[in-house]
Amino acid sequence: MHLAIIMDGNRRWAKSRNLLKFFGHKQGVTALENIIKISPKYGVSTLTVYAFSTENNKRDPEEVKDLFSLMATVAKKRRGSFVKNGIKVAVLGDLDSIPDKYSNEMRETVETTKNCDNLLIQICINYGGRDEIVRAVERVISKDILLNIESLQNNLDSSLQPDLIIRTGGHRRLSNFLIWQSAYSELYFTDILWPDFDEKELVAALDFYKKEKRNFGK
């Protein structure tokens, strides 16, 4: 099963507790690590998460810097455990626009885990669905091949299509996440803020998915 998650609500979680935004993001990392740990138990073979969107760059520069620093730190700190547990990490998005001191740690984790095969984690960083499609078109043109559905899909950051997309935090929209790949994904929305998303909430989402009849337009 391919599960994708829009991890929304870190800042509101922190605000509700009179904490700095950074602590909300740190707790969000803890929630993600817990979901990664239990995902294989529920048949998840691919987990794609929305960590930082192209639109997030419009936030306060200090918050953006803190987010990149946090992601780079986690990438470095967890690298060994990813390999130990057979977790392959891929990054979707434009890493070239991120300062090298952060992006290099992410690239190193991708390289170190490339042969792992127990669980694939795709982390969307500096990612936007529209931007991904534009970059895919540019790749097709640069290869001088016919632009069609197949060639475009094969030149996306990832052609893998989620079975289920979960969005936490109460909003009912995709917010530029996997625009192409989500064409036939089931969508599950919850008011739970991401730092509070746990195994119980994951099970509820998976139970919803099991009840859905998927006919892909047929």
Kindly report, residue by residue over 32-59, the tens digit of the pLDDT. Answer: 999 999 999 999 999 999 999 999 989 9
Is 142 part of a structural domain of the chain?
A: no
What is this structure's pTM?
A: 0.95
Measured distance CA(63)–CA(66) in Å, rounded: 5
Is 8 part of a structural domain of the chain?
A: yes
Is 135 part of a structural domain of the chain?
A: no
Residue 215's pLDDT is 67
Residue 212's pLDDT is 84
Is 64 part of a structural domain of the chain?
A: yes
Catalytic hit among 34, 56, 57, 104: 56
Is 134 part of a structural domain of the chain?
A: no
Measured distance CA(131)–CA(40) in Å, rounded: 31
Residues 6 or more apart in contact with residue 133 via CB below 8 angstroms: 152, 156, 179, 180
Does the active-site annotation cover 56?
A: yes
Kindly report, residue by residue over 138-169, the tens digit of the pLDDT. Answer: 999 999 999 999 999 999 999 999 999 999 99
Order across the sheet with 119-127: list the strands. 87-92, 119-127, 46-53, 2-6, 164-167, 186-189
- Averaged over successive runs of 10 residues, the pLDDT of the chain (218 residues) comes to 98 97 96 97 98 93 94 96 97 95 97 97 97 97 96 98 98 97 97 98 97 70
Residue 191 domain boundaries: 2-128+161-211
Is 17 part of a structural domain of the chain?
A: yes
- Under the phi-then-psi rule, with left for phi > 0, alpha for psi from -120 to 50, and beta for the rest, what region is 93? left
For tokens 């995709």, name the residue: 174
CATH code: domain of residue 111: 3.40.1180.10
Token pair in block for residue 45 = 């073979």
Is 155 part of a structural domain of the chain?
A: no
Is 144 part of a structural domain of the chain?
A: no
Q: End-to-end CA distance of the chain, in Å?
A: 21
Q: What is the DSSP letter of 163?
A: S
Catalytic hit among 8, 131, 157, 176: 8
Cα 167 to Cα 79, 104, 129, 189, 194: the distances in Å are: 26, 29, 16, 5, 9
Does the active-site annotation cover 163?
A: no
Q: How many domains does the chain divide into?
A: 1
Residue 217's pLDDT is 63
